[in-house]
Amino acid sequence: MKSRSIERAKAMLPPLTVITLSYYIFLSLLLLIGEIGVGIIILFVVIPLICLAFSIAYGINNSINIFYVILAAVLFSPSMLIIAITPMWIFVIGYGIVALIGNAIGMIYYNRNVRIKSMTKVGRYLLIAVLGSYVVAVIISAVMMAQMKQITYNSTAYGVTIKEVKIDFLSSTAIRNYYDFYGEQSEHKENAISNAKIMQIKTVCTISLLPIWQRDYHNPWVMDGDQYNIVCGYKNGERSFYGSNAYPLPYWLVYGVIHNAIE
For residue 38, pLDDT beyond 70 = no
230 close to 241: Cβ distance less than 8 angstroms: yes
Is pLDDT of 36 > 70? no
Q: Check: CB of residue 162 under 8 Å from CB of residue 155.
A: yes
For residue 70, which phi and psi values (nearest 5 degrees)? -60, -45
Q: What is the pLDDT of residue 32?
A: 60
pTM over 0.75: no
E strand intervals along the chain:
148-157, 160-168, 173-179, 185-192, 216-218, 227-234, 237-244
Weakest-pLDDT range from 56-65, 82-91, 184-193, 201-210: 82-91
| Preceding omega of 14 cis (within 30 degrees of 0) | no
* Model pLDDT for residues 123-177, shown as the tens digit of each residue: 556 556 666 677 777 777 778 888 889 999 998 877 677 889 999 999 999 999 8
* pLDDT for 98: 93
What is the CATH number that goes with domain 147-259?
3.30.1560.10
- For residue 258, pLDDT over 80 is answered with yes
pLDDT over 70 (residue 194):
yes
The domains of the chain are located at 2-145, 147-259
Lowest mean pLDDT among 23-27, 46-50, 130-134, 179-183: 130-134
Query: How far apart are the C-alpha atoms of 120 and 141, rounded to whole Å?
Result: 32
Candidate ranges 4-8, 59-63, 132-136; pick with highest mean pLDDT: 59-63
